[in-house]
Every structure is written in structure tokens, then in C-alpha cells.
Amino acid sequence: MVLISGLGSKMSWLFQVPFFKERMRVIAVHNRGTGKSSRPNYPYTMTMFVEDVKNLLDYLNIDQQIHLAGISMGGMIAQHFVLKYPDKVKSLILAATSPEFNPEPLIAQVKLNPDPEERFKGRLPLLYSRNFRKRLKEDNELFEIIRNSTMEDQTRVEDYINQAAAITDHHAIDLLEKIKNPTLIMGGMKDRLLPLSPHSEILHDKIPDSRLEKFEGLGHGFVTEGADMVNEVMWNFIKDHM
């Protein structure tokens, strides 16, 4: 299983890795510009991200088909990966993502909050529902787990900008019908960043025989908010395509 994170994140799948590593081999990719991966200071492209994943699989001598999951920008990368390397993908999971997106408002907010701590706090309303943000205020242990995951190996402003360049170049809407791999599309009904309607609904409409799973009351970061539910939905889908 290969998990691809979103813009500026090295571990969007924080609560999926422990669940799935008990069931299969899991590779959680640090996209270029995040975590332990290199951070060349120039604009990235979707092709670069796709080839990074392909090269990692080659380096690890993984030649069997993978279960590929991507969230937000990671879902965009996953779309391009499966379009270029369809035979490498056994099943596809697209979470809180879109066939196209303008990242400029998001980058403007990042530039306004160059301090990592302030940037983390400023993004919480975009990422999570009001109910989950209330829970974070009451559950300090959970808050610190999420905060520490973000603050370790901090993503710099220039890293966000370089990654966002690839999103600007992401226009897959006319290509989605070519995806023939089993596909699960997931979205939170309270997603403020990439609202399920229209983004996930367009993916569902364009990708043949895809399945759309809606998570009531959850935001963009629904894989964190509703981790137990999400894990079961993902696992049941994957089991159908082992």
C-alpha cells in the first residue's frame, strides 16, 4: 500500500499507517519538499511527483501491483500516477481531492503566516470541522500528536510554494474516463477546502465504476477526524481487490 500526503504534509495518513501496517506492507511517501525528502528550491510538477513515487518503488524492488491512496494534493498525484502507470495499480483511493484546483488563496494564507506555529493553528479551521476542533481543545494528547507530526521536519514557505506549482498545472478532468482501475473516492461533507460537491462528485461522475463514500460532519482532514470509520471503509474496499 502506498500513501501519498497532501500539500506541505509528510504524514496526512497519520492514523492510517498503524492500522494498515498490521495488514500489509505500507509505504507512506514524503513528497519532495516535505519531511525527510529533498527540498530543491524550484517549482515542482506533477510529473516530478509521479516519477518520485515510481523511482521509490523501483528502488525498493517493488514490482507487484500496489494499492494507491492519495489525499488532497496527494490524490492529484495519484490521479496522474494511475494515468501514466495503470498496470502498477491494483486499486485506487482518492480522498478529499479534485481533478483541478487553484492553490493561490491557500498559498496566500501560508505567506501571511511564515511562523510555523501560527501557520499550524491558522490551518486548523480549513482542515477540520468545528466539532473536531472543539475536541482538540479538550484532548491535549490528540492535539499534541497532530501538532508534533506537523512541527517535526517543518515545511518551509518556499516548500509550499514549490509544491503548489504542481497543483496549478493539475488539470485531469478530461483524462479521468481513462482510469479503469477499481476506484474509491472519499470526502468529508464539511470540507471547506475542497468541498465534496463538486470536487469528489466530479471525480465519481468521470471515473468509470468508481464508488463515492461521504463522511457526514467531517472536514477536509476527515481521515484524521474519523480515522476508525475511514480505515474500515478503506480496508473493506482493498479486501475486495486483493
CA angle 208, 198, 7 (to 5 degrees): 95
Give mean pLDDT, residues 106-120.
84
Percentage of residues in the chain having pLDDT higher than 90: 87
Q: Per CATH, which fold does 2-239 belong to?
A: Rossmann fold (3.40.50)
**Residue 242: band (very low, low, confident or very high) from pLDDT cuts 50, 70, 90:** very high
Q: Does 113 have pLDDT greater than 80?
A: no
Domain boundaries, the chain: 2-239
Tens of pLDDT, residues 124-149:
999 999 999 999 999 999 999 999 98
Q: Does 114 have pLDDT greater than 80?
A: no
Give mean pLDDT, residues 107-111.
86
Nearest to 6 by CA among 74, 59, 65, 57: 74
For residues 98-133, b (16+ Cβ closer than 10 Å) or e, as one string? bbebebeebbeebeeeeeeeebbeebbeebbbeebe
Query: Cβ contacts of residue 157 below 8 Å, gap of 6+?
Result: 110, 111, 114
